[in-house]
């Protein structure tokens, strides 16, 4: 009985992971290159927890509120400002200051929280999980074990997403081992630009929603 929702979750999680490119993805790659495999996995755990939170909120009926135009407008504005400011921080980093932060040990809790909020700050994370929940709910509607099947499918998706993130962390870490501090410094700069671009996209989304 549970084979179908597990298999369903496996391919859905794989497809979502391949198509998902948000600030959390770029931070995942950036952290793995600069801080190593362990910190990358901790950050991926934060992403996993934020996905789990949004999925649980959808299950318990918060989807309607989070899909409301007012929520989407405010969240897009908040995300755009936060990402642009964070991007500026990375972009304006001077080389000497970067070397100090590069050699400093970042607390694991900080990496976990970064993964959590960078994924949560993305308005498209909510849109993604609205669509995922709507899709898998239709699959099992009318089934006698509806909640069980839905839960197994959902957990399978989350597990695959986490495993795919760990693979991305591992590959990024392998690349990072071959880069010197000067190159990683420039990666930081490009990461800052990427965050500002994504923030700009969210700002344009906000403007289009109020016009």
Cα separations in angstroms, 206 against 14, 54, 108, 209, 210? 30, 21, 33, 5, 7
Instruction: Express as a percent the part of the chain with pLDDT over 90.
Output: 17
41 versus 16: which is more confidently predicted?
A: 41
pLDDT digits (tens, 9 = 90+) for 124-148: 888 888 888 888 888 877 778 888 8
Long-range contact set of residues 173-179: C-beta below 8 Å, sequence gap at least 24: 173/32, 173/33, 173/36, 173/37, 173/40, 175/33, 176/32, 176/33, 176/34, 176/36, 179/33
Instruction: Decide if 25 contacts 194 (C-beta within 8 A).
Output: no
pLDDT at 59: 77
Q: Break the chain into its structural domains and give their ranges.
A: 3-12+22-210
Please give the model's pTM, rounded to 2 decimal places.
Answer: 0.84
Cα separation of 5 and 44, whole Å?
A: 24
pLDDT at 95: 67
Query: Which pLDDT band holds residue 184 (cuts at 50, 70, 90)?
Result: confident
93 versus 10: which is more confidently predicted?
A: 10
């Amino acid at each position: 009985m549970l084979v179908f929702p597990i298999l369903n979750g496996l391919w859905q999680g794989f497809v979502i992971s391949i198509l998902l490119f948000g600030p959390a993805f770029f931070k995942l790659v950036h952290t793995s290159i600069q801080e190593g495999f362990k910190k990358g996995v901790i950050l991926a755990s934060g992403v996993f927890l934020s996905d789990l939170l949004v999925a649980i909120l959808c299950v318990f009926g918060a989807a309607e509120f989070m899909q409301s135009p007012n929520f989407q407008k405010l969240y897009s504005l908040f995300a755009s400002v936060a990402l642009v400011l964070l991007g500026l921080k990375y972009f304006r980093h001077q080389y000497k200051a970067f070397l100090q932060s590069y050699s400093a040990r970042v607390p694991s809790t900080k990496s976990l929280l970064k993964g959590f909020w960078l994924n949560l700050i993305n308005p498209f994370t909510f849109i993604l999980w609205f669509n995922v929940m709507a899709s898998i709910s239709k699959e099992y509607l009318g089934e006698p074990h509806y909640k069980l099947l839905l839960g197994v499918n959902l957990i399978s998706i989350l597990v695959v997403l986490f495993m795919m993130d760990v693979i991305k962390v591992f590959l990024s870490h392998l690349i990072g081992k071959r880069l010197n501090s000067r190159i990683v410094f420039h990666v930081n700069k490009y990461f800052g630009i990427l965050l500002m671009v994504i923030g700009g996209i969210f700002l344009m989304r906000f403007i289009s929603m109020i016009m």
